[in-house]
Amino acid sequence: MRGDKPGGSLPINFRGPLSASPHPRVTASFLLPPKSRYNAVMRFTKMHGIGNCYLYVNCFAEQVKDAAALARAMSDRNTGVGSDGLILIQPSTTADCRMEMYNMDGSRGQMCGNAIRCVAKYVYDRGLSHSNPMRIETDAGLRSLDLTIVEGKVTHARVDMGQPRLRPEDLPVVLSAEQMTDYPIEVLGRPARMTCVSMGNPHAVIHGVGLADLTPRRLEEEGRRIECHPIFPERTNVHFVEVRSPREIAMLPWERGSGATAACGSGACAAVVAGALTGRNDRAVTVHLPGGRLAIEWRPSDDHVYMTGPAAEIFTGDWPD
Active centre residues (catalytic) = 112, 264
> CA nearest 128: which of 153, 159, 97?
97
How many Å apart are CA 222 and CA 207, to the nearest integer? Answer: 13
Q: Which long-range contacts (CB under 8 A, 24 or more apart) does 293-297 make?
A: 293/50, 294/50, 294/113, 294/263, 294/265, 294/268, 296/268, 296/269, 296/271, 296/272, 297/272
Q: ∠ CA 130-134-140 to the nearest 5 degrees?
A: 145
> CA nearest 161: which of 203, 122, 200?
200
How many Å apart are CA 150 and CA 221, to the nearest integer? Answer: 42
Radius of gyration of the chain (CA): 20
> 10: Cβ–Cβ under 8 A, 6 or more apart, which residues?
1, 3, 4, 30, 31, 32, 320
Query: Is the separation of the CB atoms in 171 and 232 below 8 Å?
Result: yes
